[in-house]
Amino acid sequence: MLQKNKEYQQEALEKGIANRVLVVDDSRAQRRILSSYLGRWGYTVSEAASGEEALSICESEKIDLIVSDWMMPGISGLEFCEKFRALERDDYGYFILLTSKSDKAEVAQGLDVGADDFLTKPVAGDELLARIRAGERILQMQRELTAKNDLVTTTLQEISALYDSLDRDLVEARKLQQSLIKERFRDFETAQVSLLLRPSGHVGGDLVGFFPINDDQFGVFSIDVSGHGVASALMTARLAAYLTGSTPEQNLAIEHSESGKYKAKSPSDVATALNTLMLEEMETDLYFTMILGHFDRRRGQFVMTQCGHPHPAVQRKDGTIEYFGNGGLPVGLIEGAFFDNYEISISGGDRIILLSDGVTECPDGGDDMLGEEGLATLVEKMAEISGSAFLDALVWELTKFNKDKDFPDDISAILLEYAGQNTD
């Protein structure tokens, strides 16, 4: 038994468990007996002759475990336990009450005020050691739990700091992405173009834009890069450089005519060039759908290539909706993919609407989506609204349709309105 006690003593000292024990008893002889036991087991023992003295020690020193008599003059052991539990402590303190009481109601009262265990007087050494060991197991578990909680708290603080930093970066990234659209509206005299770009998160994979080509033509593009995160947003920035540029020479969709003036390239040829760039020069698994086209504002002719993007809609002057296009393959997905052109003519009072799939696939707050029929109903209802007001109204209607929930996908749109040939 003595050898086991020494081994346990060494283990307890190495782990730093319950090194400080306070013995509280108004009997000096009883304190000496208990202190002798504990001292032999390797504990640092403090003594107190009353509850008041014990409380003062606990307020100024770190006590791991308390062995206190129940019946004492002044503050009883029960009252001392209650006051001890009210102290502000970083660690838990284990409390053992010494008592000759055996009534279950009194034992329950002791547990209720905060006692952890009981020892019946007179105290036997083996039983005291067994109760001390039980207390140390509780203290060890508590300290391990506290250490883990501290680690979790620290980790959460670090994650929160990283999140805040990332959130600030994403806010700036959103501003930069929105700045890719330098103009949201342009009046080309006989035609007007309005743009909508609303990412579902901080940044998104949608991009819309327009660019002047010559006195008669201007180009438009609607792009949806796969995914919604930072990588998709970076890809939209790169594509914006290819399709806008600070000069016509930097725009892949513009070329010189035989007369030396600028003219629109075949949209299908531009899509082929972008497909080659994506597969041969960009090391990425991303791809994108696109509508790239140019509009002749004198003749009302729209020439486009549709690369896996949702079908555009034309709303005639009488308010009716028609979808057009020939589907096509996404860009950057299949080597050697074939793209072709599609032409449509519109008259004065007609308008063309290019939309990302975030619009037609907008959920109704449940499992159903808006779809082309639902979109046609919305657009017909807004036939008298034009320009940016039309796009604002579209977002409003989509929000109502989605029961005011967040949009799961980016939403983008181009509204091309044709007034008709200028006869001046």
- The CATH number of the domain holding residue 350 is 3.60.40.10
Q: Is residue 400 a contact partner of residue 377, using CB atoms and an 8 Å limit?
A: no
The answer to whether position 340 is within a domain reads yes
Q: Specify the pLDDT at position 10.
A: 53
Residue 204: CA count within 13 A, CB half-sphere: 20
Same domain, 204 and 340: yes
Phi/psi of residue 292, each to 5°? -125, 130
- Tell me how crowded residue 179 is: count the other CB atoms within 10 A of its CB: 10
Same domain, 125 and 239: no
Instruction: State the pairing for strand pair 185-187/301-307.
Output: unpaired
Tokens of 375: 């979109």
Same domain, 188 and 111: no
The answer to whether position 154 is within a domain reads no
Q: State the Cα–Cα distance between residues 364 and 341, nearest whole angstrom.
A: 34
- Which residue type does 8 have? Y
Q: Provide the terminal-to-terminal Cα distance of the chain, rounded to the nearest Å.
A: 114
Same domain, 381 and 237: yes
Nearest to 299 by CA among 191, 385, 379: 191
Q: State the Cα–Cα distance between residues 18 and 64, nearest whole angstrom.
A: 5
DSSP 369: B
Nearest to 209 by CA among 414, 357, 355, 360: 414
Q: Specify the pLDDT at position 249.
A: 81
* pLDDT of the chain, 424 residues: tens digit per residue: 445 555 555 554 454 455 799 999 999 999 999 999 999 888 999 999 999 999 999 999 989 999 999 999 989 999 999 999 999 888 889 999 988 766 677 778 888 888 999 888 888 888 899 989 899 888 889 888 888 998 998 999 888 888 777 777 666 766 676 676 778 899 999 999 999 988 877 777 888 999 999 999 999 999 999 877 788 888 888 888 888 856 778 899 999 887 778 999 999 999 999 999 999 888 788 999 999 999 999 999 999 999 999 999 999 999 999 999 998 999 999 999 999 999 999 999 999 999 999 999 999 877 889 999 999 999 999 999 999 999 999 999 999 998 888 888 889 999 999 998 754 4
Same domain, 26 and 88: yes
Tokens of 272: 């082929």
* Ramachandran quadrant class, 102 (left: phi over 0; alpha: psi -120 to 50; beta: rest): alpha
Residue 232: CA count within 13 A, CB half-sphere: 22
Of 148, 166, 190, the one marking the end of a domain is 148
Q: Specify the pLDDT at position 89.
A: 86
Tokens of 164: 């805040």
Nearest to 214 by CA among 259, 263, 250, 257: 263
Same domain, 131 and 38: yes
Of 127, 148, 169, the one marking the end of a domain is 148
Same domain, 139 and 189: no
Q: Is residue 254 a contact partner of residue 248, using CB atoms and an 8 Å limit?
A: yes
DSSP 248: G
Instruction: State the pairing for strand pair 65-69/342-345.
Output: unpaired
Same domain, 259 and 384: yes
Same domain, 128 and 188: no
301: buried, middle or exposed (CB in 10 Å: 19+, 13-18, 0-12)?
middle
Model confidence pTM above 0.85: no
Element containing residue 146 per DSSP (H, E): helix 125-178
Domain total of the chain = 2
Same domain, 141 and 226: no
The answer to whether position 423 is within a domain reads no
The answer to whether position 345 is within a domain reads yes
Domain span holding position 298: 180-418
Of 108, 130, 148, the one marking the end of a domain is 148
Q: State the Cα–Cα distance between residues 310 and 280, nearest whole angstrom.
A: 26
DSSP 289-338: EEEEEEEETTTTEEEEEEEBPPPPEEE-TTS-EEE-----PPBTSSTT--
The answer to whether position 84 is within a domain reads yes
Q: Specify the pLDDT at position 121.
A: 84
Q: State the Cα–Cα distance between residues 389 and 194, nearest whole angstrom.
A: 9
Q: Specify the pLDDT at position 7.
A: 56
415: three-class secondary structure by DSSP:
strand
Tokens of 146: 């506290």
Same domain, 382 and 342: yes
Q: For residue 303, what are the β-bridge partners?
A: 294, 343
